[in-house]
């Protein structure tokens, strides 16, 4: 689970870098259009068309960058939660003894219900950080 989070985080970082590179390239493209207009290499009408199109693409790239950064932040938080939960589980396992405090750390509640036929159904509701690990 932790390895999947790390790989996923690496992919997000690469995506963010690609968006940043594309944004810088698009800004350079718009700047070049301005230079071409100043040197009268292109008409003002063509300049407006090209900069409007490039500006729309730039806005889209910036929006995607913000989304990728938000995803990275969420993944960073999840990675920290998983690492913390793993540390707690390691401590419990290393003690080789399960105390009441350990059980209440791991489990939010246990629901026991009677089946219509025979027997009982048990539902274990894990505390949130451990739910991620057990899934």
pLDDT value, residue 31? 95
Q: Is residue 128 domain-resident?
A: no
Q: Specify the pTM.
A: 0.57
Which range among 12-21, 42-51, 91-100, 125-134 shows the weakest confidence by mean pLDDT?
Answer: 125-134
The model's confidence at residue 134, banded by pLDDT at 50, 70 and 90, is very low
Q: Name the more confident of 82 and 113.
A: 113
Note every long-range contact of 117-120, with CB atoms under 8 Å and residues 24 or more positions apart, other chains counting.
Answer: none
Q: Name the more confident of 8 and 76.
A: 76
Q: What percent of the chain has pLDDT over 90?
A: 39
Q: Which neighbouring-strand residues pair with 114?
A: 120
Residue 123 has pLDDT above 60, yes or no: yes
Q: Is residue 30 domain-resident?
A: yes
Domain count within the chain: 1
Domain that holds residue 37: 2-96
pLDDT value, residue 88? 85
The SS3 assignment for 48 reads helix
Note every long-range contact of 20-28, with CB atoms under 8 Å and residues 24 or more positions apart, other chains counting.
Answer: 20/65, 22/61, 23/58, 23/61, 23/62, 23/65, 26/54, 26/57, 26/58, 26/61, 27/58
Q: Is residue 75 domain-resident?
A: yes
Planar angle of CA 45, 50, 55, nearest 5 degrees = 125
Q: Is residue 69 domain-resident?
A: yes
**Average pLDDT of the chain, as a whole number:** 84
**d(C-alpha 67, C-alpha 88), whole Å:** 32
Name, of 15-19, 57-61, 91-95, 109-113, the range with top average pLDDT: 57-61
pLDDT value, residue 4? 52
């Amino acid at each position: 689970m932790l390895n999947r989070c790390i790989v996923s985080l690496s992919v997000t970082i690469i995506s963010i870098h690609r968006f940043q590179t594309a944004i810088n390239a698009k800004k350079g493209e718009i700047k070049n259009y301005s230079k071409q207009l100043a040197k009268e290499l292109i008409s003002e009408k063509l300049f407006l068309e090209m900069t409007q199109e490039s500006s729309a693409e730039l806005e889209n790239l910036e929006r995607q960058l913000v989304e990728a950064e938000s995803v990275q932040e969420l993944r960073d938080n999840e990675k920290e939660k998983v690492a913390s939960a793993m540390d707690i589980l390691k401590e419990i396992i290393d003690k080789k003894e399960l105390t009441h405090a350990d059980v209440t750390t791991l489990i939010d509640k246990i629901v026991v219900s009677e089946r219509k036929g025979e027997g009982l159904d048990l539902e274990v509701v894990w505390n949130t950080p451990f739910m991620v690990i057990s899934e």
